[in-house]
Chain A
Amino acid sequence: MSTTATSTTAMSTASVTITVNGEAATHEVEPRFLLVHYLRELRRLTGTHIGCDTSNCGACTVLLDDEAVKSCTVLAVQADGHAVRTVESLANPDGTFSAIQEGFRQEHGLQCGYCTPGMLMACTALLAENPDPNDGEIREALEGNLCRCTGYQMIVSSVRWAAEHPDGKVPAGMSAATAAAPGSEA
């Protein structure tokens, strides 16, 4: 469904073209199809998790035109013509971790990992806008993301680590985690 269409006829299906992690694709969908289902089922990008499904927990957070949104509360048709980034886009082209991913490893920002994709995307949006947030700003930016494992303190530390190491490189001899092979992220 083109945004330039002047017809006001409502349709039971719609053609959507959405650019996800730099790749555009076109599908015919029902208007009630949620963006999170589109990403997981049609684009086969299952890194984006469905948590509460009620726009509370933030596990489904992705970037829509570089803004953090909860993809359980966006229709795929609303993303037509727009660009989405998911957690699968975060790693560097050579498979090594980006700064925020490395921060979560260094500071143990996850335990079970269920909330982590949404946390990483919310953190990515925060750091793009505010590369050096203080702890209060980090906590405010993550108020829409729930974690039931960490108690949040280590997540805040992870974001601080990423802010202090924007290239994501672990200083020699400082690694808190055992070295993992490139691309071996859980």
Chain B
Amino acid sequence: MIPAKFDYVRVGSSDEAIAALTEYGDDAKLLAGGHSLLPLMKLRLATPTVLVDIGDVRDLSYIRDGGDHLSIGALTRHRDLETSELLAAEAPLLAHTAHLVGDPQVRNRGTIGGSLAHGDPASDLPAVILAMGGTLVATGPSGSREIAASEFFEGFLETALADDELLTEVRIPKFGSAGWSYQKFNRRAQDWAIVGVAVQCNGRTGVALVNMASVPIRASAVETALLGGAAGTEAAAVAADGTEPSADIHASVEYREHLARVLVGRGLAEAGIA
């Protein structure tokens, strides 16, 4: 399987990437690690006419301690997330979940920014960043702006990024030893989640769902129930409220709703919420 024809330019900096995006507009797609985009292009489900390769923009690969938060460069690979001592200490939910993405070969190439900008509701990391209450930094011709993770995912494979914007950084609070859980339900180790649940405690408890709508979503009904003093088991019972899962070869709508309730219950329990 070979992608449809496209023109290619490799850039060495974010400024060059933005210049290329400005020049080619919505005909262009950014290529980071390529492990979301290239499979779609090989199936010709995506047919960009210009690929702007940002894979060599290495100054966007970092995990930094920003005092009260952590800053993660958009081109940081899953492999670097799963092996980061800083993340293990301050954001173990992200380090743990990065280890569950795909397989080692995929994690050696795929990036956190690529995963988020792709916006696939079946991906693991968008739900984690949602549960963490993260902030995404988008950079365009007129500078940078911050976008709350909860405002970022707008539609199936669609995000709040403008055509000439590049996702440059992900910011998350420091969580230290606060409770957390990631529940990934799949049939085989390397598969996508049929349903997944990310839970992050930190004063308020963030809960987000994988594959329960056309976008990665917060489990708002669960979060609201917990804020109102509900026990974990009570909150888990409303996990499917407000969701719109689809049916596919792996699961019916009803089964996904059932999985959401069960997995939220397990996730809250593992995170220490009785």
Partner-B contacts on A (CB < 8 A): 1, 3-12, 14, 30-34, 37, 53-56, 58, 61, 64, 67-70, 72-75, 77-78, 80, 122, 125, 140-141, 143-145
Distance of A175 Cα from B75 Cα, bound (Å): 47
Among residues 3 to 22 in chain B, which have CB atoms less than 8 Å away from a CB atom of chain A? 3-12, 16, 19-20
Which A residue's beta carbon lies closest to that of B50? A10
Give the 9 A-B residue pairs with the shortest CB-CB distance, closest first. Answer: A144-B103, A31-B8, A10-B7, A10-B9, A8-B20, A67-B108, A32-B3, A143-B189, A10-B50
CB of B47, distance to nearest CB on chain A (Å): 11
B109 contacts across to A, CB distance below 8 A: 69, 73-74
Partner of A70, one of B41, B56, B105: B105
Which B residue's beta carbon lies closest to that of A81? B56
B20 contacts across to A, CB distance below 8 A: 8, 10
Which A residue's beta carbon lies closest to that of B5? A32
Contact B103 A143 (CB under 8 A): yes
Contact B108 A31 (CB under 8 A): no
Contact B103 A58 (CB under 8 A): yes
Contact B39 A73 (CB under 8 A): yes
Partner of A10, one of B12, B24, B103: B24
Distance of A70 Cα from B102 Cα, bound (Å): 12
CB of B80, distance to nearest CB on chain A (Å): 11
Contact A32 B6 (CB under 8 A): yes
A67 contacts across to B, CB distance below 8 A: 79, 108
Distance of A80 Cα from B9 Cα, bound (Å): 12
B10 contacts across to A, CB distance below 8 A: 1, 3, 5, 77, 80
CB of B109, distance to nearest CB on chain A (Å): 6
CB of B39, distance to nearest CB on chain A (Å): 6
Q: B249 near A: Cβ within 8 Å?
A: no
Contact A30 B5 (CB under 8 A): yes
| Central interface residue in B9, B28, B41, by most chain A CB within 10 Å | B9
Q: Main secondary structure on chain B at its contact with chain A?
A: mixed
Distance of A156 Cα from B165 Cα, bound (Å): 46
Q: Main secondary structure on chain A at its contact with chain B?
A: loop
CB of B49, distance to nearest CB on chain A (Å): 9
Partner-A contacts on B (CB < 8 A): 1-12, 16, 19-20, 23-24, 28, 31, 34-35, 38-39, 41-42, 50-53, 55-56, 79, 102-106, 108-109, 189-190
CB of A43, distance to nearest CB on chain B (Å): 18
| Central interface residue in A8, A61, A75, A80, by most chain B CB within 10 Å | A8
Could you list 20 A-B pairs, sorted by A, with CB under 8 Å? Answer: A1-B10, A8-B9, A8-B11, A8-B19, A14-B8, A31-B6, A32-B4, A32-B6, A54-B42, A64-B108, A70-B105, A73-B42, A74-B34, A75-B8, A75-B34, A77-B8, A77-B10, A78-B31, A122-B105, A143-B189
Given A3-B12, A8-B16, A69-B1 contact (CB < 8 Å): no
Given A75-B34, A78-B53, A11-B9 contact (CB < 8 Å): yes
Contact B105 A69 (CB under 8 A): yes
Given A8-B20, A32-B2, A144-B8 contact (CB < 8 Å): no
Distance of A58 Cα from B79 Cα, bound (Å): 17
Which B residue's beta carbon lies closest to that of A141? B104
Contact A75 B38 (CB under 8 A): yes
Partner of B1, one of A3, A53, A68: A53
A125 contacts across to B, CB distance below 8 A: 104
